[in-house]
A and B are shown apart, each in its own frame.
Chain A
């Protein structure tokens, strides 16, 4: 395969994504500089930076940026750590491992809105939720999850759904780990942790990088779970950038400001992506 062929093969995906990027993003960039409110069709015209200024000066802007990052890092940490622990736990055969595996990956197949509704109403509600009943049974004051710990609650819901994804990828990779190497290490008297850090984790470096990257692109734009559970509150405590765009601009049908918000979101996403590449990108392409 020569250079030209290689380019030709890559052309469809690059071109299509470029179109996907250029047309909506181009339109988004264009809309972000004009007056464009669906409810005021008669108001038009170029207005420069004002949509950006309006979005940027929103008091919820910085909290939303921080929440976006907190949510993403919280979910990534939880899912990767839990995913690793579970994957290592079920790496060796035991009775009913097949069933356990099926049960473990099932949450990944649940729709995000259903996930949020189930957790909000059936588990986290401080009166008739299951958590409240359990803590009341143990004699504790029920925790008011969504009011007192809104961000944590959302992180928990989403981690429940995405931990199975991490498990799925990690168990696959663990199966290919060199058993002889492991046994040799065991004979050398290597403890569990030294084995984990010296053998298992290096072996899993690339799967971890991929899990993080894939989850990142899904979690930077979390929306449905927030809408269904907290509505971004109390205050701005669970408002992320996506939700801010929705609440502040889309509810007002101001396409101009919504577009400016979209541009901010993509800038943030790219900053995160670049930072991540610094840290974990190396494991991606060693070619």
Chain B
């Protein structure tokens, strides 16, 4: 039987949808597997072949609850990732704005130079930073993490904001400049509302990146300022099985940011347009 064009289109559409679902399930599977493992005993976690059906236990979660102060770690993660993002945005917005609307020959070089500062491996500069924090009494404080987070994410924020601002029509701005608005007002009253989508998306992205930052949070914190990344790291043991427990603590550590990501994904998707705003 011949298919009409319509039928063919429909079939194509269905295949595409099915394919998308399959890929999405594959991509999500490792996370699902981690969550499943967190409800297993250590013995079940190493079973061969792997168990898909088993009697779930919450013993791993009970253990975490008993042993650690999850909320304190979570709060530290929130404070440092949001704080670092806020500080970074405060520094980046005016700069990116100036670069986008008043570019010079060196703008591109400056941007790339900024990006290159992030390419220095953290292990290479660990000692200087550690010594500086120690001298300033900032070891194991959230302040140190916030400042470092703002700095390490600044280049990325700058790059995205710069590209976003560039798409704002210059005419709108020039119109307002004639009115004699001050630069500060220009940013607050015109740029911020116009670029709100991009700024929000950039901030969200920055929060996600900082939440998972795994070098400085481990090197610079101990008792007071430990983040969830440090909590997860503390659950691995050189002598003793820990996969089920680690899965549980990882699930707890990733849960807030995943939920946060899901809730904000519409916003995240709307703002990250590059060269596409007409």
Contact = CB atoms under 8 A, between A and B. Distances in A.
A and B touch in the complex (CB under 8 A): yes
A207 B110 CA distance: 20
A206 to B, nearest CB: 4
Interface string B211-239: 11011000000000000110011001000
A146 B111 CA distance: 37
Interface stretch (B62-70, B138-146, B270-278): B270-278
A207 B27 contact: no
B123 interface: yes
A246 interface: yes
Contacts of B177: 1
A130 B30 CA distance: 10
B195 interface: no
Contacts of B132: 23-24
B163 interface: yes
Contacts of A100: 20-21, 24
Nearest to B23: A86
Interface in B65-120: 91-92, 94-99, 101-104, 107-108, 110-112, 114-120
B240 interface: no
Interface string A205-228: 111001001101100110110000
Most buried by B among A3, A17, A207, A250: A17
Nearest to B94: A9
A66 interface: no
Interface in B121-163: 121-129, 131-132, 151, 154-156, 158-160, 163
Interface in A31-64: 31
A86 B123 CA distance: 35
Contacts of B117: 17, 20-21
B168 to A, nearest CB: 13
Interface in A15-30: 16-17, 20-21, 23-25, 27-28
Contacts of B172: none
Contacts of B24: 99-101, 103-104
B273 A10 contact: no
A114 B254 contact: yes
Interface residues of B, number: 100
B60 interface: no
A265 B114 contact: no
B253 A114 contact: yes
Given A31-B127, A113-B229, A130 B121 contact: no
A94 B20 contact: yes
A253 B64 CA distance: 34
Interface string A153-171: 0000000100110001101
Given A10-B95, A133-B49, A103 B115 contact: no
B124 A258 contact: yes
A230 to B, nearest CB: 16
B200 interface: no
B119 A265 contact: yes
A176 B276 contact: yes
A54 to B, nearest CB: 15
B128 A210 contact: no
Interface stretch (A73-81, A119-127, A231-239): A119-127
Contacts of A152: none
Given A86-B23, A95-B17, A117-B246, A223 B215 contact: yes
Contact of A214 (B19, B31, B104, B156): B156
A119 B34 CA distance: 10
A16 B150 CA distance: 10
Contacts of A23: 128, 132
B269 interface: yes
Contacts of A258: 123-124, 126-127
Given A92-B13, A123-B33, 15 more contacts: A10-B94, A10-B110, A13-B158, A89-B19, A95-B17, A109-B257, A122-B50, A128-B46, A160-B27, A163-B27, A172-B272, A176-B276, A223-B215, A242-B121, A261-B124
12 contacts: A1-B101, A3-B102, A12-B91, A100-B20, A107-B30, A109-B257, A114-B253, A133-B48, A173-B275, A241-B121, A246-B123, A272-B119
